[in-house]
Homo-oligomer: A and B are copies of this chain.
């Protein structure tokens, strides 16, 4: 009863008193194999549940058909949407996705990449961790580049490498969001910013600032507070905003989670949205359409980013000889809902 050891081609060959080559060819419908031999072998193989050992093939062909996805987290809507996009394109092509979560840690990111390279992963999709970004350590990436393993940056980019990248136009999205608030007539617009240093945070922040400048609105430092992308982290900063001597009449949150946190605090204080205070988020997460009032937000096409990133990978893979990296910047789109529609 040793059914645990997988059946190999050699086992089958022994059974038929023929060579492994014959079995291999029979199973692969090679034309030079006798019809009867082929049938018998195929039937027997099915019977005993033969399943090709892809590991040996990987070694032989130097193709693993596996790709690495290295991301700081998978507990946000956006990240999973990206992964889903990658999956949608790449799974049908036979690729397997190896997901590595770094928890924003440089060390884990480094180890993950090293592991992926050791496993001869054929491509890596990377959204760098905050620690990496902060420290500016990029030696661990040199290795990937040197190996000529296609490396695609997602969202959090890094300028110094000749790699492809797929990002969302955070800047113009943020700009449009704030411009919308201005156009409605809000005068004191606060920003619940993401963690300092991250491209995503900084781009949206820049959009916020530049829009205020464009419309000659004062930039009040005390209206800009940091959050950590999640709901909880928005609670305290929002309270502080609302306790100011001259509180804001609108808040632009770095993402929907943060905006929803702010919404909660505002409602607790009895403020009416959007009459007393306007709110805008970012991401267009599924829930944003169903808060009460529904949340004005900026659509961030995660699925599309994943699909575009796949395309960039495939381009680089099939690139004839010299490959030149592409940068895809997908537009983000303002989605106007109730939370900002003061009449």
Q: How many copies of the shown chain assemble into the complex?
A: 2
Question: CB within 8 A of A290: which of B100, B101, B146, B260?
Answer: B260
Query: How far is it, in angstroms, between the C-alpha of A81 and the C-alpha of B73 when the chains are bound?
Result: 11
Check A210 for interface membership: any CB of B closer than 8 A.
no
A246 interface hit (Cβ, 8 Å): no
Instruction: Check A290 against B231 for contact (C-beta < 8 Å).
Output: yes
- B-side contacts of A263, CB under 8 Å: 290, 292
- For residue A143, CB closer than 8 A to chain B, the reply is yes
Interface size on A, residues (CB 8 A): 56
A73-106, CB < 8 A from B? 74-75, 77, 80-81, 83-84, 87, 91, 96-101
- Across the interface, do B53 and A55 meet the contact criterion of CB distance under 8 Å? no
Q: Report B-chain residues with C-beta under 8 Å of the C-beta of A264.
A: 290-292, 294
Contact A119 B54 (CB under 8 A): yes
Tell me which of B6, B59, B80, B115 contacts A55 (CB under 8 A): B59
A315 on the interface (CB 8 Å rule)? no
Roughly how many angstroms separate A257 CA and B76 CA in the complex, as a whole number? 15
With both chains docked as a complex, state the minimum distance between the C-beta of A137 and any C-beta of chain B, in angstroms: 17
Residues of A participating in the B interface, judged by any CB pair closer than 8 Å: 3-4, 6, 49, 51-56, 58-59, 64, 66, 74-75, 77, 80-81, 83-84, 87, 91, 96-101, 114-115, 117-120, 143, 146-148, 230-232, 257, 260-261, 263-264, 267-268, 286-287, 289-292, 294
